[in-house]
Chain A
Amino acid sequence: DQQVKQNSPSLSVQEGRISILNCDYTNSMFDYFLWYKKYPAEGPTFLISISSIKDKNEDGRFTVFLNKSAKHLSLHIVPSQPGDSAVYFCAASANNAGNMLTFGGGTRLMVKP
């Protein structure tokens, strides 16, 4: 039972354009959502997060949008850069489940120069 899903295994974008990565969840108890970026042979790096009481959070080139009614969140990267090429994971946490993070399967982003 996958509670967090990233339905696009890969995404290819031209440098300078917008990258949009999507994530869907099923557990209505999730109240905090995070995006991580992962390069090969490295650990995930925290990028940006959002609480369920908000619908948008922005940090530089990265913006996360949350649609609670649709149980959907997305990460926008604009403008995309070749160094953004990596696997992106969304993760969710429920305050009644301690601090355990539930991860999606990841989306591989390729930004072409």
Chain B
Amino acid sequence: NAGVMQNPRHLVRRRGQEARLRCSPMKGHSHVYWYRQLPEEGLKFMVYLQKENIIDESGMPKERFSAEFPKEGPSILRIQQVVRGDSAAYFCASSRNSVSYEQYFGPGTRLTVT
């Protein structure tokens, strides 16, 4: 399967715990984007990364959220000390390069904070 992979598909965390969401881009893609979808809303941009670089994090909350895309391995979106308002679907997308507008999405991780 050469598509965007995300895991886990479902994640349940208690308030105050940490959530780690992983994303492997499509083969041949070196650009990764994270989006969040709250219930009954559209997707909202969070962060854009290339290997070892954060290009645009203008959509990331200032606290508790961080993202990385290391040289080896998947991109990680990390949420520390989760709160109920973090419950959402988190989607990762990838594109081939910086001039390619089409982004291809993974199946998402549904985070539930209890």
- Provide the residues of chain A in CB contact with B106, threshold 8 Å: 43
A98 interfacial contact with B, CB 8 Å:
yes
- Chain A nearest CB, measured from B43 CB (Å): 4
Q: Is A93's beta carbon under 8 Å from chain B?
A: yes
Pairwise interchain contact A44-B45, C-beta atoms closer than 8 A: no
Which listed residue (B42, B48, B58, B59) contacts A99, Cβ 8 A?
A: B48
Q: Which residues of A contact B43 (CB under 8 A)?
A: 44, 89, 91, 101, 103
Given the interface contacts A34-B101, A44-B91, A49-B101, does A100 sit within 8 Å of B42 by beta carbon? no
Q: Are B101 and A103 in contact (CB under 8 A)?
A: no
The answer to whether the Cβ of B44 comes within 8 Å of any Cβ in the partner chain is yes
Q: CB of A42 within 8 A of chain B?
A: yes
Tell whether, in the assembled complex, residue A43 and residue B105 are in contact, meaning their CB atoms are under 8 Å apart: yes
A interface residues, how many (CB within 8 angstroms)? 25
| Contact B48 A43, beta carbon cutoff 8 Å | no
B80 interface contact, C-beta 8 A = no
Question: What does DSSP make chain A's interface, helix, strand, loop or mixed?
Answer: strand
Given the complex of chains A and B, what is the CA–CA distance between A106 and B56 in angstroms? 24
> Chain B: which residue is nearest A5 at the CB level?
B42
Specify which of A34, A97, A98 is in contact with B102 (CB 8 Å cutoff).
A34
Query: Using Cβ atoms and an 8 Å threshold, which residues of chain B touch A32?
Result: 101
Does the CB pair A103–B33 fall under 8 Å? no
- Chain A residues in 8 Å Cβ range of B55: 98
B contact residues around A63 at 8 Å (CB)? none
In the complex the two chains form, is B42's CB within 8 Å of A89's CB? yes
Residue of B nearest to A31 (CB): B101
Is B22 positioned at the interface, with any CB of A under 8 Å from its CB? Answer: no
Residues on B facing A (Cβ under 8 Å):
4, 6, 31, 33, 35, 41-45, 48, 55-56, 58-59, 91, 93, 95, 98, 100-108, 110
